[in-house]
Amino acid sequence: MSRFFDLVSKPAREMGGYQPSPPPGPGLSSLSSRLVRLDSNENPFGPSPHAIEAMQSALSTANCYPDDDCSRLRRRLAEYHDVAPEQVLVTAGSTGVLSLLCQTMLGPGLNAVTSERSFIVYAMAVHATGAQLIEAPMRGDTLDLAAILNAIDGNTRLILLANPNNPTGTMLDAAAVDDFLGQTPPHVVVVLDEAYCEFAQHFASLYGMEYSRSLDYVRLGAGVVVLRTFSKAHGLAGLRIGYGLGPAELLGYCARMRNTFSVSSVAQAAALAALDDQGHIARTVANNQEQAQVLREDLSQLGCRVVPTAANFLYCDIGEDATGLAALLRNEGVSVRPLAAWGAPHAIRVSIGTSEQNQFFLAAARNIAARAQRASRA
């Protein structure tokens, strides 16, 4: 019995999908000089050294098109997450899965529901299909699941939940998501965007919480798609590689809609190596947790309201125009993200860097605060 046929868009139903040649054999496989970039939630330690080695050896076959199906990586991810390979879809960044889901499930007259102050790419991906994005209000700085449920109507096809949320960094725990999924109607697919899962997992175990049981829903064949990426903890943002885990039938429709050869052979090789470099991930998440605390304490002392994070960035409400502060910080050699476009004109998002990067940023912030104080006294 076909579960999604009546829900997907007309093109998704009618396209035959690209038929690639059989994959090739086993032979196939930021910073400007002064600017400290704390604006894009990247891994401050760079890619895993194992991934760099794998990329270097993949370069010699860069004249060949990549394995369009990412079959080796897909099989490895399936084994890693204990799901079937058909339940894995690899794309150029996890936003690739998001776009495919939107193209596959949305269109004019339909809508997706998310929260206000969430990942900015959601609006782009949804609007590109002619559908509407409904943004439910938040509860404080946290996604309000009751408000999101309330916003669902008969034309809703997708719910987009960033967990942890970007830019507020707040996390929903496994019980809250269980409860939410128990109440979502069968005509919607819930996207659990877990781009920052390695950081969240680390914070959750520190606080004795359970972060997520998302993979259990996938194993049960629920109407849930989990997004994961190599852009964050694995340090491969520039390579563009991520994936979704969900119902095989639905991901099959999405796969028909994708651009051919969109995931490079170099990216596939790097992801395979990065997945197994647990040491690099452990170093990354440990630094992140330690530095989150340092930044939070120091920024609070400067008078910012800093939201406790479950990710690799901090949401700081400075209580006044943050776009101006971001410009001043840039003059001091630090780039952070002002959040006016998210409807938060008094807030910035600061990625958590290395100790050196964070101290450079804090020194710049202190200089600016001292100058402002002197000016107000004069």
Ligand X SMILES: Cc1ncc(COP(=O)(O)O)c(C=O)c1O
Site of interaction with ligand X (CB under 6 A): 41, 93-95, 119, 162, 166, 193, 195, 229, 231, 237, 242
Contacts of 25 (CB under 8 A, 6+ apart): none
Least distance from C-beta 100 to ligand X, angstroms?
12
Least separation in angstroms between residue 70's CB and ligand X is 14
Q: How far is the CB of 195 from ligand X (least distance, A)?
A: 3
- Measured from the CB atom, is 87 or 115 closer to ligand X? 115
Cα Rg of the chain (Å, integer)? 21
Beta carbon of residue 3, minimum distance to ligand X (angstroms, whole number): 26
Q: How far apart are CA 179 and CA 143, in angstroms?
A: 14
Q: How far is the CB of 119 from ligand X (least distance, A)?
A: 4
| Least distance from ligand X to the Cβ atom of residue 270, Å | 14
Please give the C-alpha separations between residue 83 and each of 65, 160, 302, in angstroms, as whole numbers.
27, 22, 47
Range list of β-strands (E), 246-346: 305-307, 313-317, 334-335, 337-338
Nearer to ligand X, 7 or 339 (CB): 339
Q: Which is nearer to ligand X, 143 or 364 (CB)?
A: 143
Residue 7 or 224: the one with the smaller Cβ distance to ligand X is 224
Residue with smaller CB distance to ligand X, 12 or 241: 241
User: Given the complex with ligand X, which of 7 and 190 has the nearer CB atom?
Assistant: 190
Least CB distance to ligand X at residue 118 (A): 7
Residue 343's H or E segment, with its range, is: none
The three-state secondary structure class of 164 is: coil
| CB nearer ligand X, residue 158 or residue 364 | 158
Q: Does residue 356 contact residue 343 with C-beta atoms inside 8 Å?
A: no
Q: Which residue has the tokens 């409807």?
A: 343
What's the longest Cα–Cα distance across the chain? 76
Q: Which residue of the chain is nearest ligand X when measured via CB?
A: 93
Which residues, 6+ apart, have CB-to-CB distance to 149 below 8 Å?
Answer: 180, 183, 184
What is the closest distance, in whole angstroms, from the C-beta atom of residue 102 to ligand X in the complex?
13
Q: What tokens were used for 147?
A: 């408000």
**DSSP for 246-313?**
--HHHHHHHHHHSPTT-S-HHHHHHHHHHHT-HHHHHHHHHHHHHHHHHHHHHHHHTT-EEE--SSSE
If the CB atoms of residues 42 and 362 are measured against ligand X, the closer one turns out to be 42
